[in-house]
Amino acid sequence: MAGTFELKAAGQDQFRFSLKAGNHQTILTSQSYASKVSALNGIESVRTNSQLEARFDRRTSKAGEPYFVLTAGNGQIIGQSEMYSSAAAMENGIQSVTRNGADAVLKDLTAEV
Burial (Cβ within 10 Å: 0-12, 13-18, ≥19) of residue 33: buried
pLDDT band at 10 (very low <50, low <70, confident <90, very high): confident
Mean pLDDT along residues 15-39? 95
pLDDT tens-digit profile of 40-88? 999 999 999 999 999 999 999 999 999 999 999 999 999 999 999 999 9
Mean pLDDT rounded to a whole number for the chain? 94
Q: What is the pTM of this model?
A: 0.91
Beta bridge partners of 77: 71
Mean pLDDT along residues 19-33? 95
pLDDT band at 28 (very low <50, low <70, confident <90, very high): very high
Would you state the pLDDT for residue 113?
Answer: 42
CA angle, 48 then 37 then 54, to 5°: 20
pLDDT band at 105 (very low <50, low <70, confident <90, very high): very high
Would you state the pLDDT for residue 11?
Answer: 81
What are the chain's domains? 4-104 (2.30.29.80)
Dist. CA 100–CA 9, nearest whole Å = 22
